[in-house]
Structure 1
């Protein structure tokens, strides 16, 4: 089996060279045999991306160093092109950007590299405040996400808070695996608790349907966790915003699914126990 690794060609464009691939699965072999000749080619001088395999075990230190330098330089080349394109489209773009931010949206999403929040929502820099972690969790003892929520609500005055999960989430699947995950155990326990709360429903499902439903339920529970915060409750009581939404992204069609999270109904239910507005 062969894998193509990048190298620098003439004219400044990245092409590929062929190197041995470590032994893979039969399904991978079949994909390689049936793939078109340029299937794994990647032009690293552009921001476009095509399906490719991960880099195999290095054949030499020199090849690794070359690849690392190319993948590093590519970012700065792309950044320069992006800056030039933005200036052409809107000359005052960076002047406006440097003046400050006033986003309408707070996005709490998964760290998965395949979900660029601004790209899939069609928003520009400055329109969305973003926090990401494994499996898009909102944990009340995670100072990182709690600080983000507080700053976004109290200082940026966002109008919408979106918790966005995605089908095929590795964190959700890991949480459903009966195995010691080491350092990940306390983090994944939050997802396992979601499973426990909805075990009767989930136990009637199998395979991907079960994973997909847990992804949705996890998003729903994280939306509830957002509403439990003092910042959200107090800002809503005063201004009737922000509104909390639960969405799921699908890799198969690139579309966002609105789970129709009932912000006001859930807030009323939650405040029977978690009311943080009495002294506000």
Structure 2
């Protein structure tokens, strides 16, 4: 598999990189993205790919379930760098359909894993909120819609968590940053703003 990626890199160099050499030369000296994108690690949801963004336009942080954990020093560092140094004007939290993290969160099965359930506890309120509106269905076709409700609710929850960070609250208050909740549908390829 790595050989395929190395060959793909040669194709990139011979094509895109060579055709836009000046653009990539400028990128080699620094970045100035306008967006901080907080997305899921899911391999099907690559931000640059689904938005047709160029290299250097999006500063990306990805994790299982597009979670913004409250009090996370790693995440706080990313926020501080994006807002204070890169001066991004927009912060996006993007969820997506068929999210494995949400399926795991929605499952009632006992897990023998150590880290995933602990991490997903940061999204548990999203499931609880949806359950107050609609109990977990038993039919497969209804379950899919229920999962989507949790996926979308999770984006809204993570936006709330994002705003617990003083750097985001201050930047929003001063009009330096706008926060967005997006949702990507894998079946249609459509990206929608949901919050």
The equivalent position to 2:151 in structure 1, one of 215, 223, 232, is 215
- In structure 2, what is the Cα distance between the partners aligned to 1:91 and 1:72? 25
Cα contact 2:65–2:102 (8 A) shared by 1: yes
- In structure 1, what is the Cα distance between the partners aligned to 2:109 and 2:122? 15
The equivalent position to 2:176 in structure 1, one of 238, 241, 245, is 241
- In structure 2, what is the Cα distance between the partners aligned to 1:172 and 1:105? 25
Cα contact 2:136–2:143 (8 A) shared by 1: no
Residue in 2 that maps onto 1:192: 124
Cα contact 1:139–1:225 (8 A) shared by 2: yes
More helix by share: 2
- In structure 1, what is the Cα distance between the partners aligned to 2:103 and 2:173? 37
TM superposition shift of 1:141: 3.0
TM superposition shift of 1:190: 1.9
Q: TM-score, normalised by structure 2?
A: 0.90
- In structure 1, what is the Cα distance between the partners aligned to 2:95 and 2:178? 17
* Bigger RCO of structures 1 and 2 (CA < 8 A, at least 6 apart): 2
TM superposition shift of 1:185: 1.9
RMSD across aligned positions (CA): 1.5
Residue in 2 that maps onto 1:113: 43
Unmatched runs of 5 consecutive residues or more in structure 1: 1-70, 262-280
Q: TM-score, normalised by structure 1?
A: 0.64
TM superposition shift of 1:204: 7.2
- In structure 1, what is the Cα distance between the partners aligned to 2:41 and 2:134? 25
- In structure 2, what is the Cα distance between the partners aligned to 1:198 and 1:109? 21
Aligned length: 189
Cα contact 1:195–1:202 (8 A) shared by 2: no
